[in-house]
């Protein structure tokens, strides 16, 4: 399952603006930047969370909400 998620995230980074921006953020953030592979693994977890929310809440994917969730986590940590 891990390899399938990894292979699914690679095209998402290339073609989905929200995932691309998150990948760029994770790899270039000033505190604790991730390597490329670490960022992809983090995005695999993010994809699982998005799929779970879509299935349980019966809502369409909202890229802005996903980005807002990440920003709120960063602000809470600061």
pTM for the model stands at 0.86
pLDDT of residue 78: 64
Q: What string of DSSP letters covers the chain? A: -HHHHHHHHHHHHHH-HHHHHHHHHHHH-SSSPPPHHHHHHHHHHHHHHHHHHHHHH-----HHHHHHHHHHHHHHH-
- The whole-angstrom separation of Cα 28 and Cα 59 is 31
* pLDDT tens per residue, range 3-55: 999 999 999 999 999 999 999 999 999 999 999 999 999 999 999 999 999 99
Between 17 and 70, the more confident residue is 17
């Amino acid at each position: 399952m891990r390899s399938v998620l990894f292979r699914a995230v690679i095209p998402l980074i290339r073609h989905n603006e929200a995932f691309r921006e998150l990948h760029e953020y994770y790899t270039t953030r000033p505190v604790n930047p991730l390597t490329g592979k670490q960022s992809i693994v983090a995005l695999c977890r993010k994809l699982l969370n998005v799929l779970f929310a879509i299935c349980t809440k019966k809502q369409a994917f909202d890229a802005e909400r996903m980005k807002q969730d990440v920003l709120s986590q960063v602000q809470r940590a600061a």
